[in-house]
């Protein structure tokens, strides 16, 4: 079983004719994802990847023709917010935005609008979602994980890759890997994904990978203490990060003494979460 994504998910790629869109669509197809087409304004009627996948001028046309329920966005930052709004208004229930560099105010509008429409947005600035052995929507390499019972949710794409590969090296697999993104405003946070894992019968353990900045990890700790019955393991990146200096992600900055790694680790440990010093240590504990 899995959360968010499975073999039946019908995936549309927004920006399918671009270099990144084509490259990663080919990778998703190779993994077995059910890609049903893509969009690129002005190129409707064309076909890509050896004429197997139709291109539509708009998301609404694509949904009407294919029954798509999931969208993956490879659109430049200047147009990505509009692409997410188009996906939500077009009737897609799961929108996954890979694009980085989207202005915070634009993302605030997208998050609010998606909430009014009952759609779920993952990202932006994220690697997407991979349900091992079933489907992937995004850029997570398919070969670094295998099916299993461990759910992974992370703010960092790279650390997601390292975690699932470390698990695979020990013969451990994942149910679903979700990269929620590292921007200050994202569509779906830790607590929502943790709730989905808690309700998933085939996810037995959960790994949470956080980082400095914001208070999502503290909110996750409170949620875990009140709602989670499954064991949660965590890693927090940025223990040695200086105050006031952004580290990698736009949201990874400690300001006014808030959002530092120590406070996040303390909150999680108080909630009964086992927090590791590195990802390999977590993998060993899970073994």
Active site positions, annotated: 249
Q: In this structure, what token pair is assigned to residue 182?
A: 């590292």
Taking every pair of Cα atoms in the chain, the longest distance, rounded to a whole number of angstroms, is: 56
Q: Are strands 94-97 and 120-122 parallel, antiparallel or unpaired?
A: parallel
Contacting residues for 275 by C-beta, under 8 A, at least 6 apart: 233, 234, 235, 236, 265, 268, 269
CB atoms within 10 A of CB 52: 10
Question: Rounded to whole angstroms, how far apart are CA atoms 72 and 17?
Answer: 13
Strands (E), the chain: 11-14, 35-39, 47-48, 53-56, 70-73, 94-97, 120-122, 128-131, 135-138, 147-154, 174-179, 205-211, 232-237, 274-275
Q: In this structure, what token pair is assigned to residue 33?
A: 């994802």
């Amino acid at each position: 079983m899995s959360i968010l994504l499975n073999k039946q998910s019908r995936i549309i790629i927004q920006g399918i004719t671009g270099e990144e869109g084509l490259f990663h669509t080919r990778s998703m197809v190779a993994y077995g994802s059910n890609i049903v087409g893509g969009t690129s304004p002005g190129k409707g009627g064309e076909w890509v990847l050896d004429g197997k996948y139709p291109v539509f001028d708009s998301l609404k046309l694509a949904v009407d023709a294919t029954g798509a329920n999931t969208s993956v966005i490879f659109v430049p930052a200047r147009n990505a917010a509009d692409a997410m709004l188009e996906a939500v208004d077009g009737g897609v229930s799961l929108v996954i935005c890979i694009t980085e560099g989207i202005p915070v105010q634009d993302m605030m509008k997208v998050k609010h609008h998606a909430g009014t429409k009952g759609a779920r947005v993952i990202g932006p600035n994220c690697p997407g979602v991979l349900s091992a052995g079933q489907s992937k929507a995004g850029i997570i390499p398919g070969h670094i994980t295998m099916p299993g019972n461990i759910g992974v949710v992370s703010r960092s794409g790279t650390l997601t890759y390292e975690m699932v590969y470390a698990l695979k090296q020990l013969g451990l697999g994942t149910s679903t890997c979700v990269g929620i993104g590292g921007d200050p405003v994202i569509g779906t946070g830790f607590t929502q994904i943790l709730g989905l894992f808690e309700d998933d019968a085939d996810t037995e353990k959960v790994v949470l990978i956080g980082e400095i900045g914001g208070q999502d990890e503290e909110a996750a700790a409170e949620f875990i203490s009140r709602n989670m019955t499954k064991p949660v393991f965590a890693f927090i990146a940025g223990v040695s990060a200086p105050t006031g200096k952004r580290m990698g992600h736009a949201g990874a900055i400690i300001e006014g003494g808030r959002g530092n790694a120590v406070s996040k680790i303390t909150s999680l440990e108080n909630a009964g979460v086992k927090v590791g010093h590195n990802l390999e240590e977590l993998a060993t504990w899970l073994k």
